[in-house]
Amino acid sequence: MNKLYIIGNITKDAETRTTQTGVNVCTFTVAVNKKRKKGEQNNDTDFFRVTAWRGLADICGNYVKKGMKVAVTGAVSVSTYTNNSGETKANLEVTADDVEFLTRVDNNTQSTPREDYSQAPEVPQESNGYTDVTADFDSSELPF
């Protein structure tokens, strides 16, 4: 089984396109900071190119913005290339099965830290047809 879980920040807004067969595809890059040991000054970062397909591509294309924190689950593959100076480099590519937004986007499309969820509107409760029997409950009526 090939499944990768990453949590990181989006490096630039997602790019969405449609293939010749009409399938939506969305790509974006996630920067994942490596944990550093005590006393280390350098903070290494890995970059993962993420590809989302079909419905997930539509969602990511609408909501994935630079700076957001996301969690991505999917299969990883490695491709290599030679840069201009002749060095062989590797790309880590993830085909997303799931993308979870750890930073929400408000109506103005500016990202808002997750801690600000206290400002989110309340979700209306659907009625299930039952009466709340605890509404008129008086604990003094209990025999114990």
Q: What is the value of pTM for the model shown? A: 0.66
- CATH of region 4-112: 2.40.50.140
- Judged by average pLDDT, the poorest of 74-88, 97-111, 115-129 is 115-129
The pair of three-digit structure tokens given for residue 56, joined into one six-digit string: 């997930």
* CA dist 9 → 5, 55, 104 (Å): 14, 22, 13
The enclosing H or E element of 62 equals helix 54-63
Q: What phi-psi label fits residue 138: left (phi over 0), alpha (psi between -120 and 50 degrees) or beta?
A: beta
User: Is the predicted pLDDT of residue 110 greater than 90, yes or no?
Assistant: no
**Per-residue pLDDT, 113:** 41
**Per-residue pLDDT, 143:** 56
Q: Classify burial at 136, counting beta carbons within 10 Å of its beta carbon; exposed 0-12, middle 13-18, buried 19 or more.
A: exposed
User: Is the predicted pLDDT of residue 142 greater than 70, yes or no?
Assistant: no
Q: How far is CA 143 from the centre of its chain?
A: 52
Mean pLDDT of 38-54: 84
